[in-house]
Structure 1
Amino acid sequence: MLPKKGSKLPMWPGFLGDREVLAVTVANLLKKEHGDSHRAIKELMRQTGASERTAKHWLSGQHAPEVMFFLRLVVSSPVVRAFVLGIIEGPASEETFSLNDRFIRVATKEAYTTGEAAISTLAVNTRRNDPNRVPENDPKDDPEPLTFNQRQQWFLERISAGDRFGAKEIVLNWHVSLKTARRDISALLHSKLLEYIGSRRKGRYRKTSLR
């Protein structure tokens, strides 16, 4: 809620309220995944295209990654990606929900589709303009490989081990909402990697194989 008087807005709590705290938080995440050796710096350079100096600043907590570099980390780093998902599923995001939530979700999906199309077009144009291009070696229109988040991979592993797990186990182990857990399982069912057998009350999930 906005203050009744004055021009200052209320500050965000926690690591999102201060650039320095965010820088330290990101540094801890990167160290958790890569360590803090020179090899870690090289890996961050490879993942994001950042300079050696910039990667050193991230690991030392001197600066947080700028937007483009942070997005590249979200794509390439499972630890940073889990961190972002935690923010999305956290209590702060719940306060932003409104009657327009459905509209926001539709707009977000359209924006994602637009971004994917732009990346695809850029890749095709870059390949066509390559002077060393051999047309016969161009990739065919194969379906994109399926990718799943850490919760879904964990759930598949537990089901493969014979556990009678469901959405509640995802909630308890990953501290997400029941809605998120059910969405994870629904995606696995839709991908045909998982199936539900038996009655609604006494049935269970079973892992299948892609055909």
Structure 2
Amino acid sequence: MSTERDAAYAVVDELAEWSDWRPFFEVAEGAPMSPGVYQMRLRDDLIVYVGMAGERRGQGIRGRLSIYRRGKGAVSGFGEAALDRALADAGFIEEHLANVREGQPSRASVWAIDAIRRLDVEVRWTPCETAASALAVETAVVALLRTHGIWNRVASRAILTPASARAVAEQPIEDGAGGPTTVVALSGELGRDDGGKAVRRTLRQGFPDHVRHTSWDPLTPAHVAYVRSRLGGSRY
């Protein structure tokens, strides 16, 4: 493991209380039924995917992992990443073509399950109180690991240092109407009377892919958490 990757993993470990790493198919069915963040790693300890789950009709992390476990997530998230790599493996293709030639073709969901099984991945998770707080933790983790081999197709736009990543993950972000949703409202919460200039400047630093000269409103929980971590001082 590289020194930089090792350091990034150490910061991720400190962001939340993670469960132990366990084989995916052994523990997915017993995952928490609450919002949260999960990670997948290969047996060589390389973390390859970071995902989050909201309430999912009361199923939370368990519901999201169940989608992968049952082969229902072949076109999104970790399921898609696993299947993409399986379809690039000639051995995987030949094995399934052999079944077709024998008159025993598999359903698409079986291909998706087999794609994950071939990886022999382990999973760990951390429960969160709300989907918004899970999003903040996921944003911080992806930002830390985006250059260290993760397969997430859309990496976090936030450029976070380890210190600000910790701050983002620890924010008590309000969900829905309970928190500020505009630049002006957030600026007022932070006690600034500059019409939102400091907030916009901070957002541009943390989310450089945002289209210039377009509104930041409505703010996402990740936006709010990032600005609070940079401008909120000890209050947050």
Give the shorter-chain TM-score range: under 0.3
Compare the two structures and name the one with the higher strand fraction: 2
TM-score when scaled to structure 2?
0.24
TM-score when scaled to structure 1?
0.26
Greater relative contact order (Cα < 8 A, sep 6+): 2
Compare the two structures and name the one with the higher helix fraction: 1
